[in-house]
Amino acid sequence: MAKSIIYTIGREFGSGGRKVGSMLAEKLGIPFYDKELLELAAKESGFNEELFKKADEKPNKFFFYSSVMANYPVANTMLGYNELSLNDQLFLIQSQTIRNLAEKGPCVIIGRCADYVLRDRDDAISIFITADLESRTERAIKVYEVDEKKARDVCIKSDKNRASYYNSFTDGKWGFASNYDLTLDSASIGLKGCVKQIISFGDIYAEYLKEEKSIH
Amino acid sequence: MAKSIIYTIGREFGSGGRKVGSMLAEKLGIPFYDKELLELAAKESGFNEELFKKADEKPNKFFFYSSVMANYPVANTMLGYNELSLNDQLFLIQSQTIRNLAEKGPCVIIGRCADYVLRDRDDAISIFITADLESRTERAIKVYEVDEKKARDVCIKSDKNRASYYNSFTDGKWGFASNYDLTLDSASIGLKGCVKQIISFGDIYAEYLKEEKSIH
């Protein structure tokens, strides 16, 4: 049941969302994609991987994804990119990579607006992992081996970038409950707790999919 | 385990959050408080219940809860209210009622900033129930027997009021994932699914409380 699902995981920096995703993928025996996405997108497009890394989840102020999709429907088929800015092209290529991966079957995808890209798929669940800034700073100090000030600054700046990236390329709102199927505070139940809760959600979701879809 | 917890549930109008709460309370055999809170607050304070109903989860633009709590610490003990506006007095009385209920043991409390009022209690979990506007409108038509336009308008207006009320009386942000331990989309898993998820979360939370509290 939970094994039949595609999980997209957005996360605040330092919340352990990436780790939750990799533990989840391992537990369910399905593929896990984080930075791997950039490599795949580079391979598929012929663009240099460094370009994808530079643009990765950073803000793009000039452009609104859905308006482009309306004006350039052909972009969806990976043609006609030339009229777009480089950042926009990278985003659209990466989105196509995400759709290709989803076509292959259940997996876990971290960030990169994957929830938005796959929003029309019934077999995709969108998750967001949050935690209070203090807990995230504490975790960032340990995991990234930096001092408290640096850790705190990185948490705040990264989230600002991620929100900005997400909000400029989608019509959703990063970090709002209404944007996701499930959000979890990792400081409240730990990373293993998050994995358990997501698997339980996946089971319930897969079951509910078979029923009439309304709030009842 | 899940039976040892106080559940506070915020909700978008039409999401079925209230119903989830009552089903949860029934399942766990613990008390449920929604409008009942207003009656209790009226009884405890001697104020007329109608006053509480009028002010219930409506915006209050003149005042910030935490600043009052700093300036009037004595208010916390239900003394010295006279210097505050009526709305502020009602909020503080209601908050005291919520604290009194929490002292008595596990229960489910709907809205009224209960998550914020009880934020320092380790045995309290904050939950938010969301759903897309279309599903909520559809549910509101059925439950409240109104036409589509009315249902949609009530969903939007009520949420605006609830957000405004919450944001003016707390330093949190209504509807943001970071504000809650758990948020769920009831259109994705149904009301019964939400109850199952919350009980699972309660079990994991109670277990995690015993361990060292950090993200690991």
Instruction: Report whether pLDDT(B62) > 70.
Output: no
What would the two tokens of residue B212 be?
A: 């060292």
Task: Say which residues have a Cβ less than 8 Å from residue B50's Cβ, sequence separation at least 6.
Answer: none
* Contact (CB<8Å) A184/B184: no
Of A176, A189, A207, the CB nearest to B208: A189
Which chain B residues are within 8 Å of A201, Cβ to Cβ? 189, 197
Comparison of pLDDT for B85 and A165, the residue scoring more: A165
Give me the mean pLDDT over the B38-64 stretch.
Answer: 77
Q: Tell me what pLDDT residue B84 has.
A: 79
Interface of A with B in 93-112 (CB under 8 A): none
Q: Tell me what pLDDT residue B216 has.
A: 67
Q: Tell me what pLDDT residue A66 has.
A: 44
Note whether A197 contacts B: Cβ–Cβ < 8 A: yes
Residue A76: DSSP 8-state = G
Which chain B residues are within 8 Å of A181, Cβ to Cβ? 184-185, 188-189
What would the two tokens of residue B2 be?
A: 């899940």
Q: Tell me what pLDDT residue A76 has.
A: 44
Q: Tell me what pLDDT residue B61 has.
A: 47
Alpha-carbon gap: A138 to the closest alpha carbon of chain B (Å)? 8
Digit-by-digit pLDDT tens for chain A (216 residues) are: 889 999 999 999 999 999 999 999 999 999 999 988 888 888 888 888 888 888 888 876 444 444 444 444 444 444 455 567 888 888 899 999 999 999 999 999 999 999 999 999 999 999 999 999 999 999 999 998 999 999 999 999 999 999 999 999 999 999 999 999 999 999 999 999 999 999 999 999 999 988 866 666
**Beta strands B108-110 and A6-11, pairing class:** unpaired
What would the two tokens of residue A58 be?
A: 């950073």
The whole-angstrom separation of Cα A191 and Cα B213 is: 11
The whole-angstrom separation of Cα A91 and Cα A165 is: 10
Between CA B95 and CA B102, with CA B97 as vertex, the angle to 5 degrees is 95
Instruction: Report whether pLDDT(B198) > 70.
Output: yes
Q: Tell me what pLDDT residue B75 has.
A: 45
Give me the mean pLDDT over the B163-180 stretch.
Answer: 94
Query: Is the complex ipTM higher than 0.90?
Result: no
Among B8-22, B87-101, B178-192, the range scoring the smallest mean pLDDT is B87-101
Instruction: Report whether pLDDT(B212) > 80.
Output: no
What would the two tokens of residue A78 be?
A: 């990976």
The whole-angstrom separation of Cα B74 and Cα B68 is: 10
The whole-angstrom separation of Cα A20 and Cα B69 is: 38
Whether the model clears a pTM of 0.90, i.e. scores above it, the answer is no
Q: Which of A132, A215, A216 to mutate to test the interface with B (most CBs of B within 10 A)?
A: A215
Residue B204's pLDDT band, with cuts at 50, 70 and 90, is very high
Q: Where are the alpha helices (DSSP H) in chain A?
A: 17-28, 36-45, 49-55, 65-71, 86-104, 114-117, 133-144, 148-169, 186-210
Average pLDDT in chain B: 87
Comparison of pLDDT for B40 and B141, the residue scoring more: B141
Which chain A residues are within 8 Å of B204, Cβ to Cβ? 189, 193, 196-197
pLDDT tens digits for B151-160? 999 999 999 9
Q: Tell me what pLDDT residue A60 has.
A: 63
Taking CA–CA distances from B200, the nearest residue in chain A reads A197
First CA to last CA across chain A, in angstroms? 21
Taking CA–CA distances from A178, the nearest residue in chain B reads B130
Which chain B residues are within 8 Å of A175, Cβ to Cβ? 176-178
Q: Tell me what pLDDT residue A58 has.
A: 80
Q: Tell me what pLDDT residue A75 has.
A: 44
Give me the mean pLDDT over the B20-39 stretch.
Answer: 94
**DSSP characters over B128-185:** EEE--HHHHHHHHHHHHT--HHHHHHHHHHHHHHHHHHHHHHSSS-TTBGGG-SEEEE
Q: Nearest CA to A42 among A89, A109, A103, A9?
A: A89
The whole-angstrom separation of Cα B194 and Cα A104 is: 29
Among A7-21, A88-102, B38-52, B112-126, the range scoring the smallest mean pLDDT is B38-52
Q: Nearest CA to A185 among A11, A32, A34?
A: A11
* Contact (CB<8Å) B178/A130: yes
Of A16, A136, A176, the CB nearest to B177: A176
Note whether B216 contacts A: Cβ–Cβ < 8 A: yes
Instruction: Decide if B74 contacts B14 (C-beta within 8 A).
Output: no
